[in-house]
Chain A
Amino acid sequence: AQSVSQHNHHVILSEAASLELGCNYSYGGTVNLFWYVQYPGQHLQLLLKYFSGDPLVKGIKGFEAEFIKSKFSFNLRKPSVQWSDTAEYFCAVNARGSTLGRLYFGRGTQLTVWP
């Protein structure tokens, strides 16, 4: 079975600090990769996704992620966080060729940004 690991469960930063959230997956085949964000009291929404092409993908609100196939990783980064980035972040993976729509989620990383 595939799995997605997010190693940091809770990250606390001050505003303007740089952010990197780790995500590793276990699957040897071709994958589609996603980062979702859930702001307090709101629904999950897509930050960015990777299907193919340039492994460095840019998303909304200044976030980016880099797919490193050899490391089975898709880490999320932001050079300078803001208080409004406080949220829970979920990495998700879909293995191509698997059951249609089967997304595997990590357990999430809670990011708290202090003003």
Chain B
Amino acid sequence: DAMVIQNPRYQVTQFGKPVTLSCSQTLNHNVMYWYQQKSSQAPKLLFHYYDKDFNNEADTPDNFQSRRPNTSFCFLDIRSPGLGDAAMYLCATSRDAIDRGLTDTQYFGPGTRLTVL
């Protein structure tokens, strides 16, 4: 039944050690998103893919990269994690947009909680 799957659910890494979080979906949705959510804060969009078209938020640090090798999978790479990158990382998908001004419902995965030591 799982539609948006994130692995692992908990990830511990060391300061400066690259880490990759993964997301997969069984919905065949065109759009995939990565959000960062720090404690007691709103989820914040990092970037998203519309098919293979990558869209980066202006304030997303260069330390964060993403890959989408196919429709089903999307990865978040943190090249040199800092203590401030400890957060919950949420992956979401949406079916499509009828036009570029209309958002379809986003479906979220359970998140990966990243701890940086």
Q: Which residues of A contact B (CB under 8 A)?
A: 4, 9, 32, 34, 36, 42-46, 49, 51, 90, 94, 96-108
What CA separation (Å) do A106 and B92 show in the bound complex? 17
Interchain Cβ contacts within 8 Å, total number = 64
Tell me if A107 and B31 are in contact (CB < 8 A).
no
**Interface of A (DSSP majority class):** loop
Instruction: Knowing A100-B100, A106-B42 are in contact, say whether A43-B108 is a contact too (CB < 8 A).
Output: yes
**Chain B: interface residue count, which band?**
20 to 34
Tell me if B42 and A90 are in contact (CB < 8 A).
yes
Q: Which residues of B contact A (CB under 8 A)?
A: 4, 31, 33, 40-45, 48, 50, 55, 90, 92, 94, 97, 100-103, 105-111
CB distance from B5 to the nearest CB of A (A): 10
Residues of A within 8 A of B110 (CB): 42-43
Residues of B within 8 A of A51 (CB): 102
Instruction: Knowing A43-B109, A100-B97, A101-B94 are in contact, say whether A107-B103 is a contact too (CB < 8 A).
Output: no
Instruction: Knowing A44-B90, A101-B48, A101-B94 are in contact, say whether A96-B101 is a contact too (CB < 8 A).
Output: yes
Tell me if B33 and A46 are in contact (CB < 8 A).
no
Chain B, residue nearest A30 (CB): B101
Residues of B within 8 A of A97 (CB): 101
CB distance from A63 to the nearest CB of B (A): 15
What CA separation (Å) do A9 and B92 show in the bound complex? 24
Tell me if B50 and A100 are in contact (CB < 8 A).
yes
Tell me if B102 and A107 are in contact (CB < 8 A).
no
Neighbour of A43 across the interface among B4, B41, B48, CB < 8 A: B4
What CA separation (Å) do A107 and B44 show in the bound complex? 10
What CA separation (Å) do A96 and B109 show in the bound complex? 24
Instruction: Knowing A42-B110, A43-B109, A45-B108 are in contact, say whether A101-B103 is a contact too (CB < 8 A).
Output: yes
What CA separation (Å) do A34 and B103 show in the bound complex? 11
Tell me if B97 and A43 are in contact (CB < 8 A).
no
